[in-house]
Amino acid sequence: MPTTACITTFDLADLPAARVLAQSVRAAHPTWRLHAVLLDELPDDLPAGIFADFDTVVPVAALDIPRFPGWIFGHDRMTARLPAGVLLLGGMLGREADLVVYLDAGSAVFHPLDLESGPLAAASILLAPQQIEPNDFAPALRDGELASMRQGIYSPAFLAACNDRDGLAFAAWLAGMMGRHQADSRLGAALPGPLFCNLAPALFDNVRVIRDPGYNVGGVNISRRRIAVGADGGIGVNGVPLRFMVFPSAGSPEEAMMERYGRGDIELYELMNWHRRQLARHAMEQRA
Amino acid sequence: MPAAGHTALEIIAPFVDAAFYLASFAADAAARQDPVAHFHEIGWKLGRAPNPDFDTRYYLRMNDDVRAAGVNPLLHYLRFGRAEGRLPQRPGGARRALAEAATPPAARRPGRHPPPAAAGLDTPGMVARIAAACVGMRGLVVSVSHDRYIDITGGMQIFIADEQAQFNADRVVYLHIAPIITRLTLAGEGDEPIPLQLTLDGTVMGIALSDEVVAALAGIGDDVVAVRYFVLHSLFGHRCSVLAALSEALRPRRNFFWLHDYASLCAGYNLLRNDAVFCGAPPEGSMACRICVYGDGRADYRARVNGLFARVAFDVLAPSEAALAVWRQGNAGLAWRSTRVHPNALLRPDITLAARPGPIRVAFIGYPIPAKGWVLFLDLFRRARGVPGLSFYHFANPEALRPMAGLTSVPVKVDAHDRLAMADAIAAHDIDLVAMLAPWPETFSYVTREAIAGGADIVALTVSGGVAEAVRQHQRGVLFASEEAVLRFFLDGHVEAYVAAQRAAGRARQTLLACGTTATFDPLNPTLDPARLITHEPALVVIAGGTVVHGEAGDGELVFHLPAGTGEVRLLSRHVVPARLDPAGADYRRVGVGVAALALDGVKVPIGDDRRHAGWHGALPGDPAQWTSGDAALRTDGATRLAITLAASPAYQRCKLIPGE
């Protein structure tokens, strides 16, 4: 039976968010294995069971990244997330799973992602664009499409690859770019990690770009997405199920975009409040 | 972006709502003379809003550059901010604030409300007190709710008080049980008994632990009182296993469960997800429940409620069709014996009076809480308070009033002796429209009936359940599908035509009849018709010591053979409070039977004789009968034959749940 692994990366400050993600993945996909990269060194006095939401947690130093000190120096806690995830993804694909899904620690899954069956199952590589519908309001265009042109067309919070020729080639290439080349000054100035994914449809076959508003809902695209809760208790976006949402960190530009383009939708604020409550709960447990 | 060359005042003028702005500066002559210039020079520096959709303080707080530049924030917004995507006010409005403030039930601090100076009760003491109260009575009702209804004024408490009064009037004992530790959710399960407070026939009886109350109810045998009923009005503060044990110990003929709210479906008893949006009680595993403050623990909550319904076969009573429909849709897993719609109060057409001219008078009634639509009313008031031809009122208990400029506060106290105080106040102020803007399906809404009784029409949302049902049933009001449509009705002037037509038809008042809730439930007739409950049979018995003596009819009188040595007896009968049957009346006395003649061992005991020493109303001039209160004491001094001649009996309301006339 094909196996699926979900990976994420976090530092200790983001452990509450990562736990929210892990629990949401477990609820939607009980059979998935959950793996994480810890971007900090493991402290000696870590409370027992603090990583219980994950099947494995490995420290980033264990990823065998070439010229690791330079690599880690070149990142901050946010920009290291995707590259570290990609490096783990590359290592796991084929060895431990037939499908590996990376999700950013700031996201949460609501309805199942439907990656293993249906139309998305046929793809080797899955990417979720930041925008799937053009904006026509100048500020939203500036914060949306124009920002994506600079920082990456595809979401840095999600990617998936299958254990096949194209998936393996993509994973190896992306790991190489994010592991070696990002730390290699001979290749010029370091580029934002997500930008590399722009090349994927050009370089690889069987790439599926998920143009479904239920995936990758976040500040960068909320201007074109409207959340609604149905009578059956399901949460939808533009009439389709909400698959996963990327929650902005406090004070981030994405949070301002949620505010600016959310149109006062109460359901959007309910989701954000829910995420904040979960973070607070886990943070309290962590302190206890 | 405004055209170049316009002055600052020209740019902002269309966005300064003079009526709205001046509501903050009613006494400021300069503001009144030129509101636009006043806002541009003074108002924004004071943080005042120029219109309902621009929040000056928010704009300055969110935009450091504007604050640092010291420019009029409205002008900045119109010139630059709007095109840059800056926000004129915090999005989401009041509902967002509600959602943010929503707190999981488990995180709320429970209250503690024991009756003042109440005695602790043990099992034998409770059995003795209840048994003594049951002597000569036709039945026992044990009812349960979340608080001590005799000391709190609220819809459910009024219904329970009326229920008690009406059962008592039909010689039925009414024992009420409430938790001492109050909470807006269930009490946790566990082995430790929980403290309860008991009220017997409207008087505090004392406090006791739940296991002792269960034991006491088990100790009430058929020889004490054969007809027993269990009525559950509210689950909150109670432990489901204790409620089941209370019912099982009582061994009632029926168990009634009232849908005064939806607490049997969710601890969010009005089904407002995150206190902000009506949810319809989706499955507890749904995404909607996951993101709701009531979602955590809802599966366990429902399992406990379902466990109660599995142990106790409830006859479910809903005060409206709407409430029953919502409950049926969301009650998966619950087992019940029957369902029935049974209103808590009835309206009957009364006089129609001419409406006064003048501005359209719009009111909010009751506690200013979001679940009652206060948020939307406040939004409407803020936007429309300066509109010529509209005036706004708030009718409520004095402590619930929120005085503010442009809103006329009217203190009204509704209590057991003046149930119609609110309807009368609405009529006295000649209110045209009452805003009942509950964002969820209210199960009944007493306030809606009060408003209609007072001659007002209702403005409500279609989602409002029992409110909307009453509007349709009585054809007294207008319903809207959305909050925006409500605002448009008032702000676009449609309200003027509506009220003109309403006033032309006259102010149609109605009488409001309390139904006694369970006390008027008729198992054989699904439609509530108070006329069918009327009886003139007083069901008179005499209590001699602990013995019930029934009369023998003969020669126009009832003869009671008293045990030898009886020093005093009680004349126990049905009673009626005339004002409850005739809201126009003001006679709040308990009226039992009219005694035309009374004799002991053949010797007449005349009116005014001091042997008629308690529970007798004063004789009226020209009235040959003296009326009892329904429980009158008579000193018999060892007589063995009591003969009573009754005058015509009044109209009593009989409880169809109790067998016999």
Map tokens 């702000």 to a residue: B491
Residue B528 lies in a domain: no
Q: Which residue has the higher pLDDT, A75 or A156?
A: A156
Chain B interface includes A219 (CB < 8 A): no
Angle of helix B93-101 relative to helix B374-384, nearest 10 degrees? 150
Condensed to tens digits (0 to 9), the pLDDT of residues B284-310 reads: 999 999 999 999 999 999 999 999 999
Inter-residue contact B562 to B549 (CB < 8 Å): yes
CA distance B63 to B87: 10
Count how many domains chain A has: 1
Return the closest-CA partner of residue B400 out of B362, B364, B449, B346: B364
Q: Which of B83, B86, B288 sits opposite A233 (nearest CB)?
A: B288
Residues B146, B286, single domain; the answer is yes
CATH value at residue A75 = 3.90.550
Lowest model confidence (mean pLDDT) among A148-162, B196-210, B315-329, B607-621? B607-621
- Interval A139-160 mean pLDDT: 94
The pLDDT value given to residue A182: 58
Map tokens 């003139």 to a residue: B536
CA distance A3 to chain B (A): 26
Task: Determine, for residues A260 and B86 on separate chains, whether the beta-carbon distance falls below 8 Å.
Answer: yes
Residues B63, B115, single domain; the answer is no
CA distance B634 to B553: 20
Q: Which of B85, B99, B283 sits opposite A270 (nearest CB)?
A: B99
Q: What burial class does residue B276 get, using C-beta atoms within 10 Å of its C-beta: 0-12 exposed, 13-18 middle, 19+ buried? A: buried
CA distance A282 to A276: 10
CATH value at residue B420 = 3.40.50.2000
Element (H, E) at B8: helix B8-12
Residue B390 lies in a domain: yes
Inter-residue contact B102 to B192 (CB < 8 Å): no
Map tokens 């930008």 to a residue: A195
Residues B165, B220, single domain; the answer is yes
Task: Determine, for residues A110 and B85 on separate chains, whether the beta-carbon distance falls below 8 Å.
Answer: no
Residues B240, B330, single domain; the answer is yes
Residue A117 lies in a domain: yes
Task: Spell out which residues of chain B touch residue A232, defining contact as CB-CB under 8 Å.
Answer: 282-283, 286
Map tokens 């994480």 to a residue: A36
Angle of helix A81-92 relative to helix A165-179, nearest 10 degrees? 140
CA distance A278 to A16: 8
How many beta carbons lie within 10 A of that of residue B365, not counting itself?
A: 29
A211: confidence class by pLDDT, cuts 50, 70, 90:
very high
Residue A122 lies in a domain: yes
Condensed to tens digits (0 to 9), the pLDDT of residues B374-426 reads: 999 999 998 888 788 999 999 999 999 988 888 999 999 987 777 889 999 99
Residues B485, B545, single domain; the answer is no
Condensed to tens digits (0 to 9), the pLDDT of residues B468-480 reads: 999 999 999 999 9
Q: Which of A138, A264, A273 sits opposite B91 (nearest CB)?
A: A264
CA distance B577 to B393: 33
Q: Which backbone phi and psi does B230 adopt, to 5 degrees?
A: -120, 125
Q: Residue A276 is encoded by which pair of tokens?
A: 């904040």
CA distance A166 to chain B (A): 35
CA distance A180 to B454: 80
Closest-CA residue of A relative to B292 is A274
DSSP 8-state class, residue A248: P
Question: Does the ipTM surpass 0.85?
Answer: yes
Residues B290, B173, single domain; the answer is yes
Return the closest-CA partner of residue A23 out of A53, A50, A51, A52: A53
Task: Give the 3-state secondary structure of residue A262.
Answer: coil
CA distance B546 to B527: 39
Condensed to tens digits (0 to 9), the pLDDT of residues B244-288 reads: 999 999 999 999 999 999 999 999 999 999 999 999 999 999 999
The pLDDT value given to residue B69: 94
Residues B433, B308, single domain; the answer is no
CA distance B598 to B616: 13
Closest-CA residue of A relative to B96 is A266
CA distance B112 to chain A (A): 27
Return the closest-CA partner of residue B223 out of B311, B286, B130, B312: B130
Q: What burial class does residue B239 get, using C-beta atoms within 10 Å of its C-beta: 0-12 exposed, 13-18 middle, 19+ buried? A: buried
Condensed to tens digits (0 to 9), the pLDDT of residues B86-121 reads: 999 999 888 899 999 999 988 899 999 999 988 999
Task: Determine, for residues A229 and B95 on separate chains, whether the beta-carbon distance falls below 8 Å.
Answer: no
Q: What whole-number percentage of chain B has pLDDT above 70?
A: 98
Task: Determine, for residues A260 and B93 on separate chains, whether the beta-carbon distance falls below 8 Å.
Answer: no
Q: Which of residues 234-253 of A touch B (CB under 8 A)?
A: 234-235, 242
Instruction: Convert A207-229 into a string of H (helix), E (strand) and C (coil).
Output: EEECCCCCCCECCCCHHHCCEEE
Q: Rounded to 10 degrees, what is the CA torsion of A61, A63, A67, A73?
A: -50
Residue B526 lies in a domain: no
Chain B interface includes A285 (CB < 8 A): no
Q: Which residues contact B222 (CB under 8 A, 6 or more apart)?
A: none
Domain span holding position A41: 4-212
Residue B521 lies in a domain: no
Q: Cα–Cα distances in Å, from B442 out to B262, B324, B367?
A: 9, 11, 15
Please count the residue pairs, one from chain A and one from chain B, whose beta carbons lie less than 8 angstroms apart: 80
Residues B278, B152, single domain; the answer is yes
Return the closest-CA partner of residue B250 out of B263, B274, B232: B232
CA distance B99 to chain A (A): 7
Residues B331, B352, single domain; the answer is no
CA distance A110 to chain B (A): 7
Map tokens 């973070």 to a residue: A279
Chain A interface includes B286 (CB < 8 A): yes
Return the closest-CA partner of residue A19 out of A36, A41, A44: A36
Task: Determine, for residues B85 and A232 on separate chains, whether the beta-carbon distance falls below 8 Å.
Answer: no
Task: Determine, for residues A140 and B85 on separate chains, whether the beta-carbon distance falls below 8 Å.
Answer: yes
Q: Which of A27, A229, A273 sits opposite B99 (nearest CB)?
A: A273
Domain span holding position B303: 111-341
Task: Determine, for residues A233 and B83 on separate chains, whether the beta-carbon distance falls below 8 Å.
Answer: no
Return the closest-CA partner of residue B571 out of B621, B603, B605: B605
Residue B660 lies in a domain: no
Residue B541 lies in a domain: yes
Residues B587, B458, single domain; the answer is no
Condensed to tens digits (0 to 9), the pLDDT of residues B611-651 reads: 999 999 988 778 888 999 999 999 999 999 999 999 878 88
CA distance B457 to B479: 11
Instruction: Convert B568-623 into a string of H (helix), E (strand) and C (coil).
Output: EEEEECCCECHHHHCCCCCCCCCECCEEEEEEECCEECCCCCCCEEEEECCCCCCC
Residue B3 lies in a domain: no
pLDDT exceeds cutoff 80 at B488: yes
DSSP 8-state class, residue B107: G
Q: Which residue has the higher pLDDT, B511 or A24?
A: A24
Q: Quick one: CA dihedral B117, B122, B125, B129, positive or negative?
A: positive
CA distance B225 to B137: 8
pLDDT exceeds cutoff 80 at B158: yes
Task: Determine, for residues B91 and A259 on separate chains, whether the beta-carbon distance falls below 8 Å.
Answer: yes
Residues B189, B115, single domain; the answer is yes
Closest-CA residue of B relative to A278 is B291
Count how many domains chain B has: 4
Locate the DSSP E strands across chain A. 4-10, 33-38, 56-59, 99-103, 107-109, 125-129, 154-162, 207-209, 227-229, 235-237, 240-241, 244-246
The pLDDT value given to residue B583: 60
Q: Which residues contact B77 (CB under 8 A, 6 or more apart)?
A: B54, B59, B86, B88
Task: Determine, for residues B279 and A233 on separate chains, whether the beta-carbon distance falls below 8 Å.
Answer: yes
CA distance A269 to A22: 22
CA distance A271 to A217: 11
Chain A interface includes B511 (CB < 8 A): no
Condensed to tens digits (0 to 9), the pLDDT of residues A231-280 reads: 999 999 999 999 999 999 988 999 999 999 998 899 999 999 999 999 99
Of B296, B314, B341, which one is at a domain's C-terminal end? B341
CA distance A46 to A55: 17
Lowest model confidence (mean pLDDT) among A193-197, B52-56, B289-293, B309-313? A193-197
The pLDDT value given to residue A264: 84
CA distance A151 to chain B (A): 21
Q: Which of residues 64-103 of B touch A (CB under 8 A)?
A: 83-87, 91-93, 95-96, 99-100, 102
How many beta carbons lie within 10 A of that of residue A141, not counting itself?
A: 16
Task: Determine, for residues A274 and B291 on separate chains, whether the beta-carbon distance falls below 8 Å.
Answer: yes
Residue B100 lies in a domain: no
Return the closest-CA partner of residue A102 out of A12, A13, A167, A52: A167
Q: Which of A233, A261, A266 sits opposite B96 (nearest CB)?
A: A266
B338: confidence class by pLDDT, cuts 50, 70, 90:
very high
B411 beta partners? B396
Task: Spell out which residues of chain B touch residue A144, defining contact as CB-CB under 8 Å.
Answer: none
Chain mean position to CA B272: 19
Task: Determine, for residues B273 and A270 on separate chains, whether the beta-carbon distance falls below 8 Å.
Answer: yes
Map tokens 């494995």 to a residue: A56
Of B63, B91, B119, which one is at a domain's C-terminal end? B91
CA distance A247 to A275: 8
Question: DSSP secondary structure string, B138-196?
Answer: SEEEEEE-SS-GGG--SHHHHHHHHHHHHHHHTTEEEEEEEESEE-SSPPPP-SS--EE
Closest-CA residue of B relative to A228 is B288
Residues B116, B85, single domain; the answer is no
Of B512, B542, B561, which one is at a domain's C-terminal end? B512
DSSP 8-state class, residue A122: G
Inter-residue contact A266 to B99 (CB < 8 Å): yes
Task: Give the 3-state secondary structure of residue B484.
Answer: helix
Inter-residue contact B528 to B173 (CB < 8 Å): no
Locate the DSSP E strands across A106-153. 107-109, 125-129
The pLDDT value given to residue B364: 98
Q: Residue A140 is encoded by which pair of tokens?
A: 């939203």
Task: Determine, for residues A139 and B293 on separate chains, whether the beta-carbon distance falls below 8 Å.
Answer: no
